[in-house]
Every structure is written in structure tokens, then in C-alpha cells.
Homo-oligomer: A and B are copies of this chain.
Amino acid sequence: MDLELVTIGTELLLGHTIDTNAADLGRTLAALGARVQRRTAVADDATAIADAVRAALARSGFVITTGGLGPTRDDVTKRAVADVVGVGLETDTAYLERLEQRWRQLGRAGPMPAANRTQAQHPAGATLLPNPRGTAPGIWLESPAGTVVMLPGVPHEMRGLLVEQVAPRLAARAGRVDVTRSRVVRTTGVAESALADRLGSLEATLRPATLAYLPSFDGVDLRLTVWGRPAAEADAVLGQGVDLLRAATGEWCYGEEETDLAAVVLELAQAAGVRLAAAESCTGGLVAGRLTAVPGASATFVGGVVAYADAIKTAQLGVSDAILAAHGAVSEATVRAMATGVGARFGATATVAVSGIAGPTGGTPEKPVGQVWLAAMCADRVHAVCVGLPGDRHEIRARAAQAALDLLRRVLSASRDRPR
């Protein structure tokens, strides 16, 4: 089942409000087997609303609107939709009585304002959808031109009506329900283009699922989506596809769905019975922050040092002046000394260390902005790597923290898999 969304509100076009309703609607409708073909945002303007709803009805025959149902002067959705469908507005007397009652219960003085009375109006022939979270009910309107469902724009009211009123009606309409479902495989340490080269030949095998590449500072997520199939078939196709993707991405893959790399590291560390610590320069606390964001991190992570000044690297981590003088703070020798130093001082058996040039200044031809040295220690072995990270200061730091956690994941995994 295909449909379109029309989002109404001048605030949305001005950018004063971030449209979270759109994502809520998209996810909920896809899971019910409805496909959002298009979403149009227009101002609180009767002509613009009518144009958008008319075109959307012509394309899909089913439109959900959000916004413009309140009692203020700029809320004009109902009249615009009534015009498109060619009916008038009528008043629901039972609902009007409930509004009057509520007005008296709230102890408001005088008669209810005329503006509030408009909330009991709806296009002739429509069904009111009760909204226990607010005063504007949802409206379900069937017409020869198609179906228009009008929901309020307040997010928690919209979500309540969507789940309680709209979803069951959509499910009832559909006979055998086809659904659109997705699964995500998370990778890090590999470029989008390199993944595309490696996975391109797989895409035919993955069908009917489609593959999307979603790059972020954390890496590239691979989203597999099956469109409009029965639920059991969709889940089976996705299961096989995820297995293929995990096999093809190998050690770059660190999890699925919302899995956080820091949580993966903590699980590996806990399973290995090690105590974790971090020594950070350019990431300045981000690695420790990622680890301690995970509930229960205290079972494994004991703490860390942010050694931003070189004097702190020496005094708190035991990096010798000789190493700093000979190699500089951004060097293999320094991160190795940081990793062993924080281990010795914090009584930790697995550690990670980061030192790099986050910019915007401080780069040289030999050590450009984005050059980051990483080291991870486990079972007294220290592994060090140098990476060149793109982006501005914020991006380089976030990517460096993710790369540090990834090195720790690889080192902990290798230690687990190595025969004792």
C-alpha cells in the first residue's frame, strides 16, 4: 500500500522546529506494510495545503496530514481538505458538548471562545479519531478522490493517534499485509567506496532486498531493506542477506542494528576478565566518554588519563622526555608508552592510547592534521597503528575515538582467539 504525507506548518519551513513526526510516521507505516512515497511540507496556508493534498491524492489515493488542526487562526487544514474533496464542514455536537464540559471542568471563566468550537468541526462524512492527549481529534475522511487522514502536529498527540487509531485501521484495510523491513550491519575502518567495490557483485544475490550505504563518523552502516513482502518472507530474506554481508565484511563488521562499538569492547573485555583503562591526548576524554556511556561500564573500565599537555604525559603516564624529544607527542613510541604507562599506573591489563593532530592548527608536512597514532595493549602485547582521518576537528576527534575502540576490539578478539 502506497501513501503520501503532507506536513503542515510555517514553523517547519522556517526551520524553528525539527520534524520528528516524519521519522515516526515513516517507521510505523513501513512496519505496517505501507510505503511512504513522498512527503511534502507546506506553510499554514489554505491554498498551499489544498494544492499539496490534491496532488498527493492524485498520485497515491491515500494521504496522511499532520498539523494545522489547533484552534488558532492559522490552523486551516480541515477547511482546505474539505475544499479538495468538495464537501462542507459540519459540527460534531457530541464532541462539542465534551469540549464545553472540559472548559467548565478546567474552571475557565465565561463561555468557551468561538475558536475552540471549531475543534468540533470536520469535513462532512468524516470520522473523528479520539485524542485523549489533546483537544484536537484526528479525522479520517473517505471520499471518491481517496482517503485523507488528518492528525495533529504535536508529536506525542500524533504518535498516540497513529498507534491507537490509525495503525489498526490500516491493518484492517490490508488483507494479507505486506511489510517493509530493514536490518543493519555495522562496519568501521573501511571506506564507503571500498565496501561498494567489494559488495557490488553481491547485490544481485541479495535481491529482493536492496542495499544502502550509510556513512557516518562511526564507519559505514549497511542497511538491507525488503520492500512490500509478507512478514515471514521479509525476515527470511533479511536473515540470509545479513549472513552474506557479515561474511563479506569480515573483521570490519562489529555488530548489527544500534550496536555501539564501545559496548562490544566492554563485552569482550569482560569475557576476557581484563580491567580496561584509556590514555588520551587528541581525543581528550572521548574514548573514556564512549565507554562510560554504556550502563555497567564500571564492571570493566577503571578509568583513564587525559594527557593533553606533554608534561602530563610524562608525569602521569611515564612517557619519557627522551621519547617525546626524539619522536614527538604524535608518534608510535609515544602511544606505546602511553598504553603501557596507563596500564601500570591504573592496574589495568588492557589499555588503549591515542595521540594525534586534531587541528585546525598544529599540522606539519610530516604530521598533517588528521594523523593519529593509536595503540592497544592486551596480555602485555602492544599493537600500534597510524591512521589518516579526514574532516574538521570535531570529525577527526570522533573518528579517532571510534578507531581507538576498533583497535581495542581487534586486539581483544585476537587475544581471545589465540591458543594459550
Contact = CB atoms under 8 A, between A and B. Distances in A.
Interface of A: 10-20, 22-30, 35-44, 48, 52, 55, 70-74, 105-108, 112-113, 115-116, 133-134, 154, 156, 180, 182, 191-194, 196-197, 200, 203, 210, 212-215, 223, 225, 278, 280, 282-289, 291-293, 295-298, 301-309, 311-312, 315-316, 345-347, 359-361, 368, 388, 390-395, 397
Contact of A108 (B191, B213, B287): B191
A26 B116 CA distance: 31
Contact of A17 (B23, B154, B203): B23
Contact of A395 (B133, B360, B394): B133
Contact of A306 (B154, B292, B345, B390): B292
A60 to B, nearest CB: 12
Contact of A133 (B13, B38, B193, B392): B392
A298 B303 contact: no
A182 B15 CA distance: 11
Contacts of A359: 295
Contacts of A394: 156, 293
Contact of A70 (B192, B197, B311): B192
Given A71-B193, A212-B16, A298 B308 contact: yes
A308 B214 CA distance: 34
Contact of A22 (B12, B105, B302, B397): B12
Contacts of A347: 311, 315
Nearest to A42: B38
B11 A223 contact: yes
Closest 5 CB pairs of A and B: A15-B26, A284-B292, A285-B285, A285-B288, A15-B27
A391 B180 CA distance: 32
B26 A12 contact: yes
Contacts of A308: 288, 292, 297-298, 301-304
Contacts of A393: 293, 295
B16 A41 contact: no
15 contacts: A12-B23, A14-B30, A15-B28, A16-B27, A18-B20, A40-B40, A40-B41, A44-B212, A71-B192, A71-B193, A298-B309, A302-B312, A303-B305, A316-B316, A316-B345
Nearest to A74: B212
B39 A13 contact: yes
A307 to B, nearest CB: 5
Contact of A182 (B16, B212, B302, B309): B16
Contacts of A55: 55
A38 B10 contact: no
A129 B317 CA distance: 46
Contacts of A397: 292-293
Given A13-B37, A286-B289, A73 B196 contact: yes
B11 A15 contact: no
